[in-house]
Amino acid sequence: MRKIIISSILVFCTFFSYSQERKNQKIEPIGDLFEVTIYYDDGSLMQHGFLTKDNKLHASWESYYPNGNRKCIAFYDHGDKVGTWYYWFMDKKTKVVYNKNKIVKVEELGIE
């Protein structure tokens, strides 16, 4: 009986935590991709981007701080980091160029 109660609690907790994670997400099919939007608990935008059907990041992804300021804009090609990424932190902007997950160039752009 004890095992049944513990198993029931674990199933309930797993279901509850899964539903909590999903409430802040919106996933919509767009052609061969899924458009994913993730929100902070207050409803502000946290991330937006695209996934392939096999759950690989693809095309553009944007991340935002809770105050709405942009944190990062990134690009993926079926899970590989590619192209020019931009990171914002405090008053600095950094440009990083990737080619198949390898950093090609990093440049500090200074005050934004």
Q: What is the pLDDT of residue 23?
A: 79
Write the single-letter amino acid at 39. Y
Q: Domain limits of the chain?
A: 24-111
Question: pLDDT of 56-72, one tens digit each?
Answer: 999 999 999 999 999 99
Low-confidence ranges of the chain (pLDDT < 50): 1-21
Q: What is the pLDDT of residue 22?
A: 64
Q: What is the pLDDT of residue 39?
A: 97
- Compute the C-alpha angle 89/48/20, nearest 5°: 100
In which region does residue 91 sit, left (phi positive, over 0), alpha (psi from -120 to 50) or beta (all else)? alpha
Size of the chain in residues: 112
Annotation: CATH topology of 24-111? 2.20.110
Q: What is the pTM of this model?
A: 0.75
